[in-house]
Amino acid sequence: MIVSPGRSSKSGFTLLEVIIACAIFFIAGFAILDLVTRSVAAARSLQQREPDAGMVAATLSLTNQLIEGSETGDFQDLCGNLYPDYSWGRDIYEVGSNGLFQVDFYVINEKRHGAEPAKMSILLYRPNSPPGSATRPR
């Protein structure tokens, strides 16, 4: 096709049309991004956060010695007044004569009577601990 010098070919978009199209695209994209962000934040705020036995295990794992027995408490001494309706317990007993202890943890929601407590058991090696039932002479 031969174009004469006096005629202009009108193929393509002008710069103004491209700028307007980009502006509409970015406005719609940011509106969708804002909607998704707000939806995720709303879903996160609806989640019930409950303490688990791992929180109690983390505090015990910092000790160098374990003593056989049972212990109970609430979460005020662990993390303030964040979980007022929950209590925890742990049972420590020696399972090996070399300082190997098994610790059974449980977390109870005091508002839900009859609900099964969250449980967890771990093994901890603490050779500096006083002798327990596995090392005492019989």
58 shares its domain with 117: yes
Clarify whether residues 120 and 57 are in a common domain: yes
**Containing domain of residue 37, as a range?**
13-47
As a whole number of angstroms, the distance between CA 87 and CA 109 comes to 7
65, 117: one domain: yes
Domains identified in the chain, total number = 2
Q: What is the CATH number of the domain that holds 60?
A: 3.30.1300
Residue 2 covered by a domain: no
**Whether 22 and 68 share a structural domain:** no
Same domain as 18, residue 66: no
Give exposure, 57-94, as e/b (b: 16+ Cβ within 10 Å): beebeeeeebebeeeeeebeebeeeebeebbbbbebeb
For residue 99, being part of any structural domain is answered with: yes
Q: Are residues 57 and 120 in the same domain?
A: yes
137 inside domain:
no
* Whether residue 63 sits in one domain with residue 30: no
Q: Indicate yes or no: pTM above 0.75.
A: no
Residue 120 lies in a domain: yes
Asked if residue 101 belongs to a domain, the reply is yes
pLDDT tens-place string over residues 24-47 = 999 999 999 999 999 999 888 887
Distances from the Cα of 46 to the Cα of 24, 39, 40, 59, 71, angstroms: 34, 11, 10, 28, 33
Tens of each residue's pLDDT in the chain, 138 residues: 555 555 556 678 899 999 999 999 999 999 999 999 999 998 888 876 778 888 888 888 888 888 899 998 888 776 667 788 888 899 999 998 788 999 999 998 888 777 788 899 999 998 888 887 766 655
Assign 47 to helix, strand or coil: coil
CB atoms near residue 100 (< 10 Å): 17
Domain boundary among 47, 63, 89: 47
- CB of 68 within 8 A of CB of 132? yes
Q: Do 58 and 37 fall into the same domain?
A: no
- Tell me, yes or no, whether 112 and 63 share the same domain: yes
